[in-house]
Amino acid sequence: MKHMILGIDEVGRGPWAGPLVVGAVVLGGVDIAGLTDSKKLSAKRRQELDIIIRDQADGFGLGWVDASEIDRIGLSAALKLATVRAVQQVKVTYHEIVIDGTVNFLSETSKGQYVTTMKKADLLVPSVSAASIIAKVARDNYMAEQDQIYPGYGFNDHVGYGTARHIAAIDQLGVTPLHRLSFKPLARFAHQPATTSDVPARTDVTTKQIGDTAETVAAEYLRDLGHQILERNWKTKFCEIDIVSSAGKVVYFTEVKYRKSSDQGGGLAAITPKKLRQMKFAAEYYALKHQLDNNDLRLTAVSLTGSPPIVESYLEVQ
């Protein structure tokens, strides 16, 4: 019997802005060449390995804690919360949990007794290396999307760390909802609400860019649930689908709905009977073109709200 190790590593503990992300991976019996600490890999190689890990690992999960949660509960509690959220996404059996570092972030849970903490585990234990890679890629991709929403900060380059460019941008533009105001360098902004209307460059952000960001967040959410993303923005002259994904024998056709504020009724309010008919036609047309004769087809919707977008709800609509 294979000894199944759940490897856990975090990314984003030290940045001044952006989420904390914890990766959790059970590789099982798969041997993936080139796994190591994500920081020792080029961005291109991390992206390549991320695809392989998601495709071949027995199970994986990502736990996200955003800046506002970090400010509210503190970094130590946020690390525990992100770890719990990541582990909850892993649905396969495992016999041992290895966490990179010296702190057992699951000590207050029923899984804490199965944890081994290990310095440099991201170099020594393949499943921990894999966890560090998927967490790093997910967070970097997210911050690249935020670079479009908050131009001028350079999030695509420094991904939230306190670089000279980042400091200069904060001095000029102020803070965004991505910034961790509980961190000492940003404490002076703690009693000044983070607004976007004071940032002139934001006027260049298009509705499409915001929609694309929401769709990316939705796709990552589905991946966290164990879905493989098959298509994004699949279009024909007859119909279109925001996200097509699969999990086992089930193929999901997901409509992504974003509203800036939940006061606007929530994105799912836009799933009208007419929209449902359009989604059903699109799903059936996709299945016909791709010969999905033996698959269970399901229509789902993800509603997102806020800036940056976060998932408000996910449900099956038919």
Rounded Cα distance between 111 and 86, Å, is 13
∠ CA 298-301-307, rounded to 5°:
155
User: Residue 259: exposed, middle, or buried by beta-carbon count in 10 A (0-12, 13-18, 19+)?
Assistant: buried
Give CATH 3.30.420.10 domain extents, the chain: 5-138
Spell out the residues 6+ positions from residue 46 whose beta carbon is closer than 8 angstroms to its own: 38, 133, 136, 137, 140
Both tokens assigned to 92: 């396969």
φ, ψ (nearest 5 deg) of residue 280: -65, -45
Higher pLDDT, 232 or 59: 59
Number of residues assigned to the chain: 318
- Percentage of the chain lying above the pLDDT 70 cut: 88
Digit-coded pLDDT (tens) for 242-274: 999 998 889 999 999 887 655 544 455 567 788
Give CATH 3.40.1350.10 domain extents, the chain: 207-316
Superfamily of the domain at 5-138: Ribonuclease H-like superfamily/Ribonuclease H (3.30.420.10)
| 3-class secondary-structure state, position 311 | strand
Digit-coded pLDDT (tens) for 166-178: 999 999 999 999 9
Q: What dihedral do alpha carbons 217, 223, 228, 231 form, nearest 10°?
A: 0
pLDDT at 7: 97
Q: What's the CATH number of domain 207-316, 1.10.645.10, 3.40.1350.10, 3.90.550.10, 3.40.50.12160?
A: 3.40.1350.10
